[in-house]
Amino acid sequence: MSTDTQQQVFWEQQNRSFSKPTPACDLLHPEAREGQTDPALTETQYFGFSVPEEHIHGLTYLWHHPNLGVVSGGVFAWRGVKRGPLEAELFDMVTFASDDCLAGDLYDYKLPNGYHVTTQEPMRRHRLRYADPGRGNALDISFEAVMPAMVLANGHHLEQAMRTTGELTLGGETYPVEGFNVRDRTWSELRRDTLQPGGMPPIDWMTGAFGDDFSFGCTAQDNLDSDPDWKGVIEASPGDPLKLGWVWRDGELTPLVSSRKRSRRTAGTLFPEFVEMELTDACGRTYEMKGTILAACPWYPWPTLEAVICSVRWECEGRTAYGELQRGLRPDYIRAFRGRV
């Protein structure tokens, strides 16, 4: 395996084509360790869920470092806007547990905090479970694919719209989870926590599903000509601000080829509040989308990254979707802007 494709994670490079999904995409990739001894070698598994009418959002995560023999991950859910993850109604993440729990691959595993995932049919159906009776928190949610997975041409990352069905209990109150979410998975990548020279502007991973027939994923920065706050302070990433994008529309999966995006954020927290964007796919179709943040909470998956996880109400072509925006903030940006009016 060439290590060249592993030196940048998917949001640091432009991606304009797909590869064919296979059931193996949903399982561990031990072959990645052949000739690759870097401790940053990574596999991840992400699922999200929401109760939009209650402004509740949540996620579950698995981060495997196969060369270190450890896993991190768990469950995270909250209502409204929180200043930090420890304010969330549910935040139960373990770090650096033994990867012995993955002896059954990703077909069935349970982390030490009780987070339990069953892959009932690779690339089609998953079930997530968790319970903390003492705090009155629990979830039991099934995910079923409503589209084939988008797999990047390098074969290291997938995204897929899923129908969510189940229940979430927070503080003893139970809510139905009935909607959609776009999951993702990455494997055979090196995820290092080193800082880039000159810093990195905020970048957003955005997803939404309007129904079985229409969903999208887009990873992009604000365009320079929209005068983002970081313009002239932090150097823009080279090339197109669109790093990755796709649209599933009426049974067809098409890559995005351009984006025009601007966003508004709060002064004190730097959390996003509103997003406008125009997306163009490879067939020449244009989608104008507006996104309003319903819930937001930061998370620190590694020390040099603040990931602001948001529930978003998207509007496009007279339809409404509930999805996500995950904004990556780096120290240079936070030092320059946090707390300034």
What are the pLDDT digits (tens) for 11-34? 666 777 899 999 999 999 999 999
Residue 60 lies in a domain: yes
Residue 312 pLDDT exceeds 70: yes
User: What is the per-residue pLDDT for 239?
Assistant: 72
Confidence of residue 3 (pLDDT cuts 50, 70, 90): very low
CA 286 to each of CA 58, 259, 260, 307, 316: distance values in angstroms, whole numbers, following the listed order: 30, 9, 11, 28, 11
| Distance of alpha carbon 154 from alpha carbon 171, whole angstroms | 42
Q: Are residues 59 and 170 in the same domain?
A: yes
Chosen domain end from 157, 189, 221: 189
pLDDT digits (tens, 9 = 90+) for 161-181: 999 999 999 999 999 999 999
Residue 1 lies in a domain: no
- What value does the mean pLDDT take over residues 149-161? 95
User: What is the per-residue pLDDT for 189?
Assistant: 92
Q: Are residues 282 and 166 in the same domain?
A: no
User: What is the per-residue pLDDT for 13?
Assistant: 67
User: What is the per-residue pLDDT for 1?
Assistant: 33
User: What is the per-residue pLDDT for 29?
Assistant: 97
Residue 148 lies in a domain: yes
User: What is the per-residue pLDDT for 339?
Assistant: 65
User: What is the per-residue pLDDT for 91?
Assistant: 98
Q: Are residues 75 and 48 in the same domain?
A: yes
* Boundaries of domain holding 265: 196-341
Q: Are residues 69 and 140 in the same domain?
A: yes
Q: Are residues 254 and 277 in the same domain?
A: yes
User: What is the per-residue pLDDT for 232?
Assistant: 93
The total number of structural domains in the chain stands at 2
- What value does the mean pLDDT take over residues 175-188? 97
The average confidence (pLDDT) of the chain is 94
Nearest Cα neighbor of 277 from 234, 329, 334, 216 is 216
Residue 298 lies in a domain: yes
Residue 154 pLDDT exceeds 70: yes
For residue 234, give the CATH number of its domain: 2.40.370
Count of other CB atoms within 10 angstroms of residue 154? 18
